[in-house]
Amino acid sequence: MIRIIVRKWKGVFYPHRPTVDMGEPEDLLERFSSHVQVYAEKNTDRSHYEYVAKALKEMLKLKGGEQEVRLLVDVFRQAYKRRTAMMGILKDF
């Protein structure tokens, strides 16, 4: 059994398996994306939406991040269109 440890990277928390190297940027991007999706699904408050936006901005800095962020934002706009605060924060993407 592998325990998940949450680490902080540039002010954003992400899941990290201590026995696994961070690997390539694509691998990190995949982990980040998964974390952000789960986080957005479970949390419904403006401060949480701001955290999601901060995570998306950090993802943009990774190789291939722009495409992944566009995909996530499109998913969020479809899935959470009734969360007006989230839509307001995501309008910058």
CA 46 to chain centre: 15
Q: What is the pLDDT at residue 58?
A: 87
- Check if the beta carbon of residue 29 is closer than 8 Å to that of residue 62: yes
pLDDT greater at residue 71 or residue 10: 71
Angle separating helix axes 46-60 and 65-79, nearest 10 degrees: 150
Separation CA 71–CA 87 (nearest Å):
15
Full-model pTM: 0.72
pLDDT single digits (tens) 1-56? 334 444 555 556 555 544 444 556 667 888 889 999 999 999 999 999 999 999 99
The strand ranges marked E within 30-91 are none
